[in-house]
Every structure is written in structure tokens, then in C-alpha cells.
A and B are shown apart, each in its own frame.
Chain A
Amino acid sequence: MLIKAMLTGGGDYEKSLRQRRWAAVALLAIGLVGFVCYFLLVPDSHLSEHAQGFYLGGASGITAGALVLLVRTQYLMTHPQAQRKAKIKETDERELHITRSAAQIAGALTIFGVVLSLFIVLPLSMEAYYALAGVVFFYTAVFFLSSLWLSKKL
């Protein structure tokens, strides 16, 4: 979804699809490297069972997502009727407005929840506190940097 959102726009949908296909290939490469590392390197490592499961889950998820994206993109590139339908759906301004608004609401509620959680986790776990404080710092930094970039760009 994120790749589709990032690589849709500019008016040239064919170009967006070509970029999306390359993004899918790149993601597939990451997933496959993850698989290879899981089978060749992870068994001899000191990773816990939980971490190994997370590793395999990550590699599987990325590979599956990349394959779906690749197959769908290839289908759209070779079927003009389906491509036109997908283009209208993905570039429809109301749909984009809904996506942007939903992302804004999700971002605002997430940061609200994280700040609230800071007060709850502080007496319980310093590691969790640092992780959550890192998220708040990252959000704030990204917000100001993107505001700065957008104010110059627009």
C-alpha cells in the first residue's frame, strides 16, 4: 500500500507501474536474501528462538508482499482495461483525500497513544520508555523536516 501510494502520481500511470515493478523486484531481492540468511547464517547464530521466528516472519512477509505486488503490477501492465480501472481507483482524488485524512488521523492518534504510554511505562521499564521516547523524537523530527521541505517545495 505504501509503495503504491509513493509510486502513484505525476500523471503518468504507465511510468508509475514500471517503477512499482522495479520496487517489487527490489523487495523480492530483500525477502530472498532474508530467506538465504535465515537458512545459512541464522542456525549457527546466537539468536533466540523468538528472534529467529521474527526473522523468518519478516523474510516471508516481504517475499509474499513483493510477489503479490509483482504479479498484480505485471497483470495491470498487460491488461489495458484492468489498468484503466486500477488507474481511476488509485488516482481518484476523493480516494486520495480519504487516504491522506485516514493517515493524518492514524498518525495523530498513534502519537497521542505513544505519549500517553510514556507515562505508563516509565515506572515499569526503562527500555520500553526509551523505545517510545525514540518514536516521539522520530515523529517530531520527521514532522519538522517534512514541513520545512514542503514549505520550500510548495
Chain B
Amino acid sequence: MTNRIAELRKARKISQAELADGVDVTRQTIISLESGRYNASLLLAHKIARYFGLTIEEVFLFEEEETP
């Protein structure tokens, strides 16, 4: 799963700390989400999408795994 958090945040000129404060997580969590090291739960994904005024699908990009 990839996400557009960094892209959306920069486009809106929001700092990582401001986003973290807005969705009640630590700044380190935002850093990990942006770098793809950590995947958000459904609840956090919903909060982040709502923060940007978008749907979850518009922020988080789910990639179907290739089946053999």
C-alpha cells in the first residue's frame, strides 16, 4: 500500500507536526507513513483522508498483489 500523504501535505503547505496534531498521532508516525515503513489502520486512514477532505481511496493507494 502506498499513499499520497507527503504530496497532499506539501501541496497544502502543512507541516508533519501540524498533520500529526490534526489526526492525533505523533510526528514520527506521519514520517513512517510517508516513507512507507508503516501502514495506517483503517481508523487512521479515515482520519487522514477526512483531514484532507478526500476519500480513503484518494489518499491511500491499494495495490493488488499479483496472483500466479
Contacts and interface: CB of A to CB of B under 8 A. Distances in A.
A95 interface: yes
Interface string B15-50: 000001100111011001000001011011000000
B38 A95 contact: no
B24 A94 contact: no
Contact residues of A: prevailing secondary structure: helix
Nearest to A97: B38
Interface residues of A, number: 9
B25 A92 contact: yes
Nearest to B40: A93
Given A93-B44, A94-B32, A88 B25 contact: yes
A102 to B, nearest CB: 15
Nearest to B29: A94
A19 interface: no
A91 interface: yes
B38 A88 contact: no
A88 to B, nearest CB: 6
Contacts of B20: 88
7 contacts: A89-B26, A93-B25, A93-B41, A93-B43, A93-B44, A94-B28, A94-B29
Interface of A: 87-89, 91-95, 97
